[in-house]
Amino acid sequence: MNTVRLYIKSMAILMKSQLQYPLSFALQTLAQLVMEGGELLAVILLIDRFDRLNQWTPGNLYFFFGLMSVSFYITECFGRGITGAFPSMVRSGQLDTLLLRPRGILTQVLCSAIDPRRIACIAVGAVSLVIGSRMSQIAWTPVKALLLAESVFCSFWLILGLFMIEAILCIHSVKSVELANTLTYGGRSACQYPIDTYPQPLRVLFTVVAPFALVMHVPASHILGKPLFAWPLWTAFAAPLTGFVLFGIMYLLFRQALRFYRSTGN
Amino acid sequence: MKAYFSVFRLRRRLETQYRGAALGGIICQIFFGLVLIALYRTLYVGKPQTLPLSHITTYVWLQQAFFRMLVASDADLMDKIRTGGIAYDLCRPISLYGFYYARILAQKLMGSLLRAVPMLVFAALLPEGWGIVLPASLPALLCSLAALIIGLFCVSALENITMAFTMRTLDSRGMQAMLNLLMMIFAGNILPLTLFPDSWQPIISALPYAQLLDAPIRLFTGEYALSQAGLILLRQGAWTAALVMLGRFMWQRNQRHLVVQGG
């Protein structure tokens, strides 16, 4: 509990520092809004031309898009320490100071940065979710609401875990490794559409290696009333837990990697 | 003129130094290309279009291959503006605009060539319906190469206009992100311009952003007929000239109001 309090306190301090330059902050947030709006525009234009994607109606597609945006950018907002700041912490030797303090490294890294500009992207995602839900005429029940909450929550840990791959690699090689982007940003681009869009190799990649399909698409398809692969309801609750599993594995690897950490000096 | 050529040459050499980084970038771009094509293939199964699928796959690969041409920007210049190092550049006996134009041109040219060649080879090896197809004809290929070169000049002019906005404020990340995003959408990187609604086509293909990569690609696939090629090259040239003039004007104005930060 102490850790959670520490995290909330650091977030409050960081927020305050971010808002010191209100104009710059507002412009950057606006830029984020335009960026995510552009992604949504691409989906709208594709739907305008093609009407549907397999069995998915336009409303369904907005729902999938919204689920991905909300989850991905919540992670980028609150997990900024891992998703953005970590490589430079290793390069500059800033990580050394964290090693001296009596707290977990990961806690401190997560407490060191926040990216409130992403709120604009989360908003676009939320709007898309609402529109998608309206157009798909989802009859909301407590079970469905719980499924959605679980999916977003588990996605956070999944995406954080995927970003930790880059963190782990950059402890070993100092330079940040662009290749890890294929799973994080590539996963975002690919899995904003349901998994059955893709041929077998990509399906395997996004189910087994980076289980976006299990964490997002399986529960979402149940909420939409079109279960993927006709899987039963209990799978929709069980599948997202793979997000935790992936995060757990990455956490262990991260601790292992830190034992090999060599400071860059300064 | 000679000074600008040597700036160009030096910068070109520098850009070829980072081959390792380029390889990571290439694999990333290839992956994005494959995902996009898989998506368009599935969409085509649901509702076939008048435009053949092979045009779309070719469009995607050419966009991915020349991705660096759109996004490369001069990080040195941003730093110089923030730290005041720009004062040294002002002492040079050549035009500041020309100096940075030559630099960005070299960076965009080498950055994209280094990545485009291996990627296009890879795309050519892919099976039908996934890979890139041959150009419509030999003259079409030549026209599209000419268009690509003009597009390169045009994108460098656009980049310098973005930079002109940067000089006005110290932290213009917001402004820069927005201009870059406009470019990504209307240059056809996020979604091929050919898939935009038909009623939008006359407007978006006349915008400066369509002159960068979209015009060369459409000449390559033969969507723009050879008889139109002259007009298209002319449109590209006109936009490039206009953007260079606008950029020079903005830089000159900025130079007069420039405040050098610190010592």
Give the nearest partner residue to B190 out of A28, A42, A51, using CB atoms: A42
Which ipTM score applies to this complex? Answer: 0.86
What is the pLDDT, as a whole number, of residue B100? 87
What is the pLDDT, as a whole number, of residue A108? 79
Residue B263 lies in a domain: no
Who has greater pLDDT, A93 or B143? Answer: B143
Contacts of B260 (CB under 8 A, 6+ apart): B84, B86, B87
Give the nearest partner residue to A31 out of B35, B177, B196, using CB atoms: B177
Q: CB burial class (10 A; 0-12, 13-18, 19+) of residue B40?
A: buried
Mean pLDDT, chain B, whole residue set: 85
pLDDT at B151 over 90: yes
The predicted model gives B90-105 an average pLDDT of: 85
Contact B42 A54 (CB under 8 A): yes
Number of helices and strands (H, E) in chain B? 12, 0
What is the pLDDT, as a whole number, of residue A117? 83
What is the pLDDT, as a whole number, of residue A249? 92
Q: Which of A29, A119, A118, A122 minimizes the C-alpha distance to A67?
A: A122
* Alpha-carbon B6 to chain mean position: 22
Q: Is A45 on the interface with B (CB under 8 A)?
A: yes
Chain B CA closest to residue A191: B35
What is the pLDDT, as a whole number, of residue A69? 93
What is the pLDDT, as a whole number, of residue A119? 87
Q: Which of A32, A41, A33, A59 minimizes the C-alpha distance to B200?
A: A41
What is the pLDDT, as a whole number, of residue B263? 52
**Domain carrying residue B155:** 2-257
At position A235, the amino acid (one-letter code) is T
What is the pLDDT, as a whole number, of residue B51? 82
If one counts every other C-beta atom within 10 angstroms of the C-beta of residue B141, the result is 14
Contacts of A73 (CB under 8 A, 6+ apart): A36, A118, A121, A122, A125
What are the C-alpha distances in Å from A169 to residues A8, A75, A87, A178, B129? Answer: 28, 20, 9, 10, 35
Q: Which of B19, B30, B31 to mutate to test the interface with A (most CBs of A within 10 A)?
A: B31
Residues of chain A with pLDDT under 70: 1, 174-177, 264-266
CA distance A205 to chain B (A): 12
Q: How confident is the model at residue B174 (pLDDT cuts 50, 70, 90)?
A: confident
If one counts every other C-beta atom within 10 angstroms of the C-beta of residue B207, the result is 14
DSSP string, A88-128: HHHHHTTHHHHHHSSS-HHHHHHHT---GGGHHHHHHHHHH
Q: Is A263 on the interface with B (CB under 8 A)?
A: no
Contacts of A92 (CB under 8 A, 6+ apart): A264, A266
**Domain carrying residue A63:** 2-259
Residue A25 lies in a domain: yes
CA distance B43 to chain A (A): 6
CA distance A223 to chain B (A): 23
Q: Which of B43, B55, B71, B186 to mutate to test the interface with A (most CBs of A within 10 A)?
A: B43
pLDDT at B126 over 80: yes
Confirm if A177 and B25 have CB atoms less than 8 A apart: no
Confirm if A191 and A130 have CB atoms less than 8 A apart: no
Q: Which of B23, B27, B35 to mutate to test the interface with A (most CBs of A within 10 A)?
A: B35
Percent of chain B predicted with pLDDT > 90: 20
DSSP string, A20-67: TSHHHHHHHHHHHHHHHHHHHHHHHHHHHHH--BTTB-HHHHHHHHHH
Q: Is A56 on the interface with B (CB under 8 A)?
A: no
Residue A266 lies in a domain: no
For chain B, the domain total comes to 1
At position A5, the amino acid (one-letter code) is R
What is the pLDDT, as a whole number, of residue B261? 65
A:77-116 residues touching chain B, CB 8 A cutoff: none
Q: How far apart are CA A18 and CA A12, in angstroms?
A: 10
What is the pLDDT, as a whole number, of residue B12? 74
Who has greater pLDDT, B208 or B129? Answer: B208
Of A14-23, A115-124, B111-120, B235-244, the range with the highest mean pLDDT is: B235-244
Residue A46 lies in a domain: yes
What is the pLDDT, as a whole number, of residue A264? 67
What is the pLDDT, as a whole number, of residue A62? 93
Residue B262 lies in a domain: no
B:182-241 residues touching chain A, CB 8 A cutoff: 184-185, 190-191, 195-197
Give the nearest partner residue to A38 out of B27, B175, B181, using CB atoms: B181
For chain A, the domain total comes to 1
What is the pLDDT, as a whole number, of residue A126? 93
Contact A53 B46 (CB under 8 A): yes
Q: Is A248 on the interface with B (CB under 8 A)?
A: no
B:147-186 residues touching chain A, CB 8 A cutoff: 171, 173-175, 177-178, 181, 184-185
Q: What is the DSSP letter of A129?
A: H
Residue A207 lies in a domain: yes
Q: How far apart are CA B107 and CA B152, in angstroms?
A: 11
What is the pLDDT, as a whole number, of residue B149? 93
Q: How far apart are CA B83 and CA B78, in angstroms?
A: 9
Contact A38 B34 (CB under 8 A): no
Chain B CA closest to residue A21: B171
pLDDT at B99 over 80: yes
Contact B42 A53 (CB under 8 A): yes
Q: How far apart are CA B191 and CA A42, in angstroms?
A: 6
Crossing angle, helix B226-257 and helix B214-221, to 10 degrees? Answer: 170
Residue A264 lies in a domain: no
CB pairs under 8 A between A and B: 93
Residue B98 lies in a domain: yes
